Structure 1
Amino acid sequence: MLSRGYIAFRGLLSRTGCLNIEQKRNAQVSIVGAANEIGSNLAILLKQNKYITRLNLYDDDEKVLRVGAELSEIPKGPVVTSYNGNSFLPASIRFSHLIIMVSRVPRRPGYTRDQMLEVNAPPVQKLCRTMADVNPDAFLAISTNPINSIIPLASSLLFRYSAYDAAKIFGITHIDTCRARAYASKALNVNPRHLHIPVIGGHSDKTITPLFSNITPSHYKVDPCQADTLTRLVKKAGMEVINNKLGIDSATLAMAWSINEFADNILQAMYGDYVVVNSYTSNPHYGTRFFSGPTRVGCYGIVETCNSNFNMTEYEKHILGNAITDINKDVARGEEYARVIAEVKH
């Protein structure tokens, strides 16, 4: 729950703790990692968001200053402020209601998830430490890979820093359900806007589990042969993008689009609505401590995590069974790495 001092200082929250519904543009959002391709594309999408008053851009790369300067030439939307360098991280996230971290070293051919964790963990730790100091009440959404380990790492660090709220930390896996909708719409020759497909498990080739048997509206049907093909496509989509880009970068445009859709939903929740987003969160329902899937969110954070009420085919159950083993390993890896880096720093 947001602290009373924070609410009073900002004057942006109603008596219930939700953002004031009557003021349609009064949220502050920070993008950490705004100089990279995902961050800059996300920034221009959020510049059009009707809920945001201030959009703060942060990056270690001074390129973020040029990104901010260019966005400031657009004569509509939120005020954009850019911050560059470690000393400006606190200012960039102070008072923000939603902090989105897209900083990352992109996945490349031959990279193991252990290597990605080692490279991407330090900026996550820096953000968690800073959040604990200046803005522990914010929603934190992370797209930095490997998400299966990064979210347990960030959760462990925030707990160590006495700033952990399981209802307000999200691993953004919205890209998985976006891809599932896109592939299914092509197979069924329908508009993807009309489709909803839960994708559960984790966020890696081995743990992504699309549930095409649960597609809605229910009059659309995906036969077992199609489901097998579509599942393989969704699982391999990330690596396919890397191969198409000749190993230079991973998905950027689709990631920015899906993170923007996620952020827009979260902002709606802050105004008092209940929304459902696909995210990797603290979740004990499947025998793991963290799990990805449709997550119900309200103005105080997560209301209901993905539960085990899905009717799955035997094929989906088999995939999920294998995924759970890998998720538990990934969670343990992230929590152990949090212990190691915390001890090194202290």
Structure 2
Amino acid sequence: EIGQSLALLLKLNLPAKSELSLYDISPITPGIAVDLSHIPTDVKVTGFAGEDPTEALKDADVVVISAGVARKPGMTRADLFNVNATIVYNLVEKAAKVCPKACIAIITNPVNTIIPIAAEVLKKAGVYDKNKLFGVTTLDVIRANTFVAEAKDVNVKYVRVPVIGGHSGTTILPLLSQATVNGLKLEFTQEQIEQLTHRIQNAGTEVVEAKAGGGSATLSMAQAGAEFALGLVRALIGEDVIRYAYVDNTNGETSPAFFA
């Protein structure tokens, strides 16, 4: 479900002359590409279906992986591991062969455990570059910005809240002490800090329960994925871009292997 919304956002916002390639095992994927191609932007869209993503991955500079099963009520992100890890493993293995120099951004949960697996797949293929593998945690950032703006009654457009750690429950760490609006530091009571932190950490569950078994956070995740992917594209063409992501942090014996 994330894929179609994400594809629409990218079709609308990618730089002119970009090429957007869609892939899914579902046979409707080429049709989705045709549908998107009727939207008047200077972005070429193609779609591929079936078991082999090779054609979709050819010449890719950025690969965004959102494939996988979604959470249902009562499930944690960790419960998705067995199914989703296999899906991502196979896609990353193919990307390593077809587009070994591409930046790979993974949305699929559980991000905290899937990113290390993707890293091992790329290492095995001999093409691993820790600066080109990203676990997308942007959803935590946009949620933090939104909830803080609501709590402080300020324009969310100008709110910045750093979020570090990981992308699962208590590993999501909003740095409210560093939150700003228009560059000015925001102040919070201890009660506000506790309430905001809890809501940011459990926002995914809030959506899953509100949808009553009908899915997880697909629309907001698509927006987050688009923001991250567009940031990568802008960086590749030379712009100065800052995005938070779950990445390989191995730069010393005391630092965690992966961290956002």
Distance across 2 between alignment mates of 1:256 and 1:194: 21
Contact kept? 2:77, 2:168, Cα under 8 Å: no
Distance across 1 between alignment mates of 2:79 and 2:172: 20
Contact kept? 1:128, 1:157, Cα under 8 Å: yes
Contact kept? 1:49, 1:77, Cα under 8 Å: no
- What residue is the counterpart of 2:154 in the other structure? 190
Alignment of 1:179-258 (within 5 A): 179-216=143-180, 217-258=183-224
* One of 86, 99, 104 as aligned partner of 2:51: 86
* One of 5, 13, 20 as aligned partner of 1:55: 20
Q: Report the alpha carbon displacement of residue 186 of structure 1 after superposing the two structures with TM.
A: 0.5
User: SS of the residue aligned with 2:202?
Assistant: helix
Q: Report the alpha carbon displacement of residue 49 of structure 1 after superposing the two structures with TM.
A: 2.2
Distance 1:239 1:70, change over 3 A: same
Name the amino acid aligned to 2:127.
A
Distance across 1 between alignment mates of 2:42 and 2:4: 16
Name the amino acid aligned to 2:87.
P
- What residue is the counterpart of 2:5 in the other structure? 41
- What residue is the counterpart of 1:136 in the other structure? 100
Aligned-pair identity in percent equals 38
Q: Report the alpha carbon displacement of residue 71 of structure 1 after superposing the two structures with TM.
A: 0.6
RMSD across aligned positions (CA): 1.4
Name the amino acid aligned to 1:290.
F
- What residue is the counterpart of 1:67 in the other structure? 32
* 1:267 to 2:228 alignment: no
* One of 86, 89, 106 as aligned partner of 2:70: 106
* 1:154 to 2:118 alignment: yes
TM-score, structure 2 length as denominator? 0.94
Name the amino acid aligned to 2:44.
V
Contact kept? 1:107, 1:249, Cα under 8 Å: yes
1:124-182 per-residue CA deviation (whole Å, 9 max, x = no partner) reads 11112211211100000000000000000100111111121100000000000100000
* 1:116 to 2:84 alignment: no
Distance 1:124 1:46, change over 3 A: same
- Listed as ranges, the gaps of 5+ residues in structure 2 are none
Name the amino acid aligned to 2:125.
Y
Name the amino acid aligned to 1:73.
H
Q: Report the alpha carbon displacement of residue 111 of structure 1 after superposing the two structures with TM.
A: 2.9
Q: After superposing the two structures, state which structure 1 stretch, 166-175 or 58-67, moved more.
A: 58-67
Q: Report the alpha carbon displacement of residue 65 of structure 1 after superposing the two structures with TM.
A: 2.2
TM-score, structure 1 length as denominator? 0.71
- Listed as ranges, the gaps of 5+ residues in structure 1 are 1-36, 293-346
1:85-123 per-residue CA deviation (whole Å, 9 max, x = no partner) reads 123x01101101100000010011233544311100122
Distance across 1 between alignment mates of 2:166 and 2:226: 20
User: SS of the residue aligned with 1:163?
Assistant: coil
